[in-house]
Amino acid sequence: MKYLAGAAALASAFVLAGVAAADTTGDVLTLYPVGGGQDTYAAWKAQEGRPDSQGTANQALYLQRLTNVPDTPAAAHVRGLENTPVTALVSLSYEHRVPGLCTKTDPRWSLFIRGRSGREYVVNLGCALTPGRPTDDPHWVQRLFTAAVIRAEVLRQSKGTDALAGRIDGLALVVDRSKGFVYLDNVSVRSKTATKTWTYAGDNGNGVPGGPPPAFTAEQSALMAAPIPEDSQFDEDVLMPSLTADEQAAIAVEDWG
């Protein structure tokens, strides 16, 4: 496999492709790959993925990081969930091609939350933390985080209910702890208010915003740069049976007010 290289500006240019034929579902969610500097790359790549919702390009979302320099994420930012209650999340999922990265940290969903107290949190949902699910293609494996698992991870990783009672401040797919690459497809974000599955760049059916490409805030970058301790990475098949009665009650609350 030949690695791809390119500047961050090139990585964000994907959004211009396929928009005219985009799936206009009315959903407000959009997905934007953005590289994190030299030796990182994030873009949609043709003829590397699963069937697209339209056309025959068979695009896959490609995230690559070939450096150990800190704060150099290859990422795909999800926009449109800002200020949504954490408890409104229904599921987060994608399919990843094998071989390719799938560790407890990369690729991962980085869920940024503004707690009820005003404190900012990041909850990391790494690829290998949830069991792989087979698809109809043996070269592609699905990773699905259900609402119950997301809530349990939020509760345990933030060490309390403040984040669980908070609102989403940002969401991104990130590769920043490992050197390597991964192809992702059928990237799906479901909430009680908006749902979207991206099969190719054109599924950003509600258009391309003006201005610079999305970026992490300074606060989010600081949270991402902090070490991820081994004891804060909870495997789903271990986490869920370990929940106490109080924790089970906490994740069952639909509206923390």
13-72 pLDDT, tens digit each:
333 233 323 333 445 899 999 998 889 999 999 999 999 999 999 999 999 999 988 889
pLDDT above 70: percentage of residues in the chain: 86
Give 136-184 pLDDT, tens digit per residue.
999 999 999 999 999 999 999 999 999 999 999 999 999 999 999 999 9
Q: Which two tokens stand for residue 171?
A: 């969401």
DSSP character at residue 13: G
80 DSSP β-pair partners: none
- In this predicted structure, the answer to whether residue 10 has a pLDDT above a threshold of 60 is no
Overall average pLDDT of the 182-189 stretch: 98
Separation of alpha carbons 83 and 79, rounded Å: 11
Helix (H, G, I), strand (E, B) or coil at 67: coil
When pLDDT is cut at 50, 70 and 90, the band that residue 210 belongs to is low
Distance (Å, whole) CA 247 – CA 257: 18
E strand intervals along 81-166: 89-97, 108-114, 120-126, 132-134, 140-146
Read off the pLDDT of residues 80-90 as tens digits, 9 standing for 90 and up.
999 999 999 99
pLDDT over threshold 60, residue 197: yes
Rounded CA gap, 99 and 114, in Å?
36
What pLDDT score does 70 carry? 86
What is the residue-averaged pLDDT of the chain? 88
Supply the pLDDT for residue 175. 97
User: Looking at residue 24, what is its pLDDT?
Assistant: 34
**Is 98's pLDDT higher than 70?**
yes
Is the per-residue pLDDT at 6 higher than 90?
A: no
Residues 6+ apart with CB under 8 A from 53: 23, 197, 199, 200, 202, 203
pLDDT for res 166:
97
Report the DSSP pairing between strands 60-65 and 180-191: antiparallel
Provide the residue type at 113 as one letter.
I
pLDDT-derived band at 2, boundaries 50, 70, 90:
very low
Helix then strand count (H, E) for the chain reads 5, 12
